[in-house]
A and B are shown apart, each in its own frame.
Chain A
Amino acid sequence: MTAAALDGAGPATSARRPRHPGGLTPASGLGLGVALVWFSLLVLLPLAAVAATTAEGGWGGFWRAVTNEQTAAAIRLTVTQALLVTAVDVVMGTLVAWVLVRDSFPGKRLLELLIDIPFALPTIVAGLVLLSLYGPDGPLGVDVTNRRPAVFLALLFVTTPFVVRTVQPVLAELDPEAEEAAASLGAGRLTIFRRIVLPAITPAIAAGAALAFARGMGEYGSLVLLSGNLPFRTEVASVRILASIESDDLPAAASVATVLLVVSLAVIAAIDLLQRRMVRRG
Chain B
Amino acid sequence: MSIEVRHVSKRFGDFVALDDVSVSIPTGQLTALLGPSGGGKSTLLRVVAGLEQADSGTVEIEGVDATHLRPQERNVGFVFQHYAAFKHLTVARNIAFGLEVRRRPKAEVRRRVQELLELVHLEQFADRLPSQLSGGQRQRMALARALAVEPRVLLLDEPFGALDAKVRKELRDWLRRLHEEVHVTTVFVTHDQEEALEVADEIVVIDAGRVRQVGTPDELYDSPADDFVMRFLGPVTQLGGDLVRPHDIELHTSPVEGATAGTISRLVRVGFEVRIDVTTADQVVLVTATRPQVQALGVEVGTPVWVRPVAGAATVPAAGPAPDDDLVTA
**Chain A contacts to B: CB under 8 angstroms:** 1, 3, 5-6, 8-13, 175, 177-178, 180-188, 191, 195-196, 199-200, 279-280, 282
Contact = CB atoms under 8 A, between A and B. Distances in A.
Given A10-B137, A177-B82, A282 B88 contact: yes
A275 B57 CA distance: 46
Contacts of B74: 184
B10 to A, nearest CB: 16
Given A6-B174, A186-B72, A181 B133 contact: no
B251 to A, nearest CB: 40
A278 to B, nearest CB: 10
B64 interface: no
B100 to A, nearest CB: 8
* Interface of B: prevailing SS: helix
Interface stretch (B30-38, B163-171, B191-199, B200-208): B163-171
B171 A184 contact: no
B166 A8 contact: yes
Interface of B: 49-51, 70-72, 74-78, 80, 82, 84-89, 93, 97-98, 101-102, 121, 128, 132-137, 140, 142, 145-146, 148-149, 166-167, 170-171, 173-174, 177-178, 181
Given A10-B137, A175-B82, A180 B167 contact: no
B142 to A, nearest CB: 8
Nearest to A188: B72
Contact of A178 (B75, B85, B148): B85
A8 B167 contact: yes
Given A9-B167, A9-B170, A199 B88 contact: yes
B30 to A, nearest CB: 16
A178 B76 CA distance: 15
Contacts of B75: 186
10 contacts: A9-B140, A9-B167, A12-B132, A12-B137, A13-B134, A175-B82, A181-B80, A181-B142, A184-B77, A187-B101
Contacts of A185: 97-98, 101, 145-146, 148-149
Contact of A12 (B49, B71, B133, B174): B133
Given A9-B134, A185-B146, A282-B89, 12 more contacts: A1-B181, A9-B140, A10-B136, A180-B51, A180-B84, A182-B86, A184-B49, A184-B146, A195-B86, A196-B86, A199-B88, A279-B88
Nearest to A10: B134
